[in-house]
Amino acid sequence: MSLTHQDVARIAKLARINVSDDEIDAVGAQLNTIFDMIAKMQAIDTDGVEPMTHPQDSALRLREDIVTEPDRRDAFMAIAPQAEAGLFLVPKVIE
Amino acid sequence: MKWEVVIGLEVHVQLSTVSKIFSGASTAFGAEPNTQASAVELAYPGVLPVLNRAAVSRAIRLGLALGSNINRKNVFARKNYFYPDLPKGYQISQMDLPIVEGGHLTIQVGDEEKRIRVTRAHLEEDAGKSLHEDFHGMTGIDLNRAGTPLLEVVSEPDMRSGEEAVAYARTLHSLVTWLGICDGNMQEGSFRVDANVSVRPFGQAEFGTRCEIKNLNSFRFLEAAIQYEVQRQTELIEDGGRVVQETRLYDPDRGETRSMRSKEDAHDYRYFPDPDLLPVRISEAQIEAERIAMPELPSAMKGRFMSEYGLSAYDADLLTSSRELAAYFEEVARASGQGKLAANWVAGEIAARLNRAGLSIAACPLDAGRLAGLLARLVDNTISGKIAKDVFELMWESADSADAIIEAKGLRQITDSGAIESIVDEVIAANARSVEEFRAGKEKALNALVGQVMKASKGKANPAQALEILKKKLTA
């Protein structure tokens, strides 16, 4: 599979990565080498092998339902670019 | 043309855990902004999610109640999108292997029962809240809600009217509160409904193009939004247009839905398994333990009320709408030995009074034992049905027993035939016209005379006895 100029632009946009027009070809070429490797892996016969979602074949450990986190708002707000009235402030985002 | 409505619902059930799904921060509602947002919700580098056992337990219980398959192995995935109330840049959710798959919910619409299939239910984290009030042209972010555990319950497109959709939502709402896995508080967003609505010509097999109406937080809005949307879509098609698949918002002030402006790539979430979380494994032992810990389910209790107390499907459905109401009814039914009568009073007088006072059954001033005492006096003919309603009113306002009120007010029914006879004699003497009419063959006149006897006895005469004696005297 080979990514087009448009595919790369779209992926970059979805990932919020600013890729300029002259960079797109180079990034596309790098992505295509990754896809080539995936294509090789796809060719391997995995019949009868249970699909894995994680390299380790173990189960998730769970925690008890208890409140353990204290309120550390002041500490978090102190290093936020902007905060007011207990809220983090960000550029306006109405869709 | 006749149109058929097709509806599927997605319900976000907020699970009633005390801590978040992936951290030990509190989930209590109404706290000062950002005081319950830990480094995990803030997406600090290096932090890792650790799954809350109670969220898994609650999901299993709903799955068992719906007769679903509990996936012994289920997997968390990342749903990627950028929005400031989701600092990680992805929501942890489940995609290919949700915890609950399949199952169904039986709803009651009028006299009809209908089975609505459930596609799946998956665990995920809630996002924070964006406040768009003016902070110098900026948006305020509160991450207290971020990381609150949600179970998203997705139905098949099995509903064919707004009424069915509301019945499904109500039934699911009473089930999750019954199981104690959700507090059910819709104002606080604990139970949020998205409706997928489409229309098609009757008899057509393929579905029409659907629209998704987001975030309906009351049953009334759900019904109104569907009604509006169905009308909008049918008019659009009849005018030669076509429905565009999109997300719409319901505006309760205008009573209409409107399109949410969305970017063309808004739905490209690029899901992939979350490498921070191993697969969740659920053992047979845990499923059995959850099953044993669960209360009798409303559907089972409904069936039992019908067979054990002879209730109609409608009454049994109403009385099993909440666990507290069902327990109250059953206590009255057992203490009085009168299932049907208890159902009539609980679904009738009690429900009406609670509704008028805006109270829930848990706050009912008349406890089940006292109500059973009243029904016992009705059954043994100490008082008539009419007097029972008066006694009920007095009991509602006081802590007295039915017996105490009946004695104190002298409301005992007159069953002494001698006493009734003398009242009947007076009534016959004073109502010559009605007597005349009855003798002339007008049966209705007899009712008027019984009414007079009841009036003269201040409602205390036994009406059946009064009728008997009247008939005997008039035809003698």
* Structure confidence by residue, pLDDT tens digits, A14-32: 888 999 988 999 999 999 9
Residue-wise pLDDT tens digits, B168-223 = 999 999 999 999 999 999 999 999 999 999 999 999 999 999 999 998 989 999 99
State the pLDDT at residue B446: 84
Average pLDDT, chain A: 90
Which two structure tokens, joined as six digits, stand for B359?
């109270």
CB of B50 less than 8 A from some CB of A: yes
Q: Are B450 and B466 in contact (CB under 8 A)?
A: yes
**Helix (H) or strand (E) run with residue B132 in it:** strand B129-135
Asked whether residue B364 falls in the same domain as residue B431, the answer is no
pLDDT 10s per residue in chain A (95 long)?
688 999 999 889 888 899 998 899 999 999 999 999 999 999 999 999 888 888 887 899 999 999 999 999 999 999 999 999 999 999 987 65
Residues of B with Cβ-Cβ distance to A88 under 8 angstroms: 34, 84, 140-141, 143
Q: Does A67 sit within 8 Å of B26, measured CB to CB?
A: yes
* CA distances from residue B358 to B174, B353, B362, B363 in whole angstroms, order as listed: 18, 8, 12, 10
Domains of chain A: 5-42 (1.10.20)
* Residue B442 DSSP label: -
Q: Which residue among B366, B390, B409 closes a domain?
A: B409
Structure confidence at residue B37 (pLDDT):
97
Q: Which of B26, B34, B273 sits opposite A86 (nearest CB)?
A: B34
- Total number of domains in chain B: 3
Question: How far apart (Å, rounded) are the C-alpha atoms in residues B60 and B291?
Answer: 9
**pLDDT reported for residue B57:** 98
Give the minimum alpha-carbon distance from B39 to chain A in angstroms, rounded to a whole number.
8
In terms of domains, do B195 and B225 share one? yes
A87 inside 8 A of chain B by CB = yes
Cβ contact A89–B139 (<8 Å): yes
One domain for residues B323 and B470:
no
B253 and B312 assigned to the same domain? no
| pLDDT number for residue A93 | 74
**CA B432 → CA B419, B429, B437, B465, distances in Å?**
21, 6, 9, 21
Residues B75, A53: C-beta atoms closer than 8 Å: yes
Contact A60 B281 (CB under 8 A): yes
Cα–Cα distance for residue pair A88/B468, rounded to 1 Å:
81
Instruction: Calculate the alpha carbon distances from B400 to B365, B376, B397, B416 in Å.
Output: 11, 15, 9, 27
DSSP B299: H
Interface of A with B in 18-47 (CB under 8 A): none
B198 and B284 share a domain?
A: yes
Domain boundary among B409, B439, B456: B409
> Searching chain B, which residue's CA lies closest to the CA of residue A77?
B34
Q: Do B422 and B376 share a structural domain?
A: no
**Partner-chain residue, chosen from B39, B132, B279, that has the shortest CB–CB distance to A94:** B132
Based on the fold, state whether residues B199 and B256 are members of the same structural domain.
yes
B124 and B229: one domain? yes
- Strands B246-251 and B211-216, how do they pair? parallel
pLDDT at res. B265: 54
How far is the alpha carbon of A8 from chain B, nearest alpha carbon, in Å?
14
- B403: containing domain: 296-409
Which residues of chain B are modeled with pLDDT < 50? none
Q: Tell whether B101 and B177 lie within a shared domain.
A: yes
Task: Give the distance from residue A88's alpha carbon to the nearest chain B alpha carbon, in angstroms.
Answer: 5
Written as one string, the DSSP assignment of B215-269 is: EE-SHHHHHHHHHHHHHHHHHHHHTT--PPPEEEEEETTTTEEEEPP--TTTT--
Distance CA B300, CA B291 (A): 14
In the DSSP assignment, the letter for residue B316 is: H
- Please tell me the predicted confidence (pLDDT) of residue B266: 57
Look at residue A94 in the predicted model and tell me its pLDDT.
64
B211 and B344 fall within a common domain: no
**ipTM of predicted complex:** 0.90
Do residues B201 and B266 share a domain?
yes
Cβ–Cβ gap A61/B34 under 8 Å: no
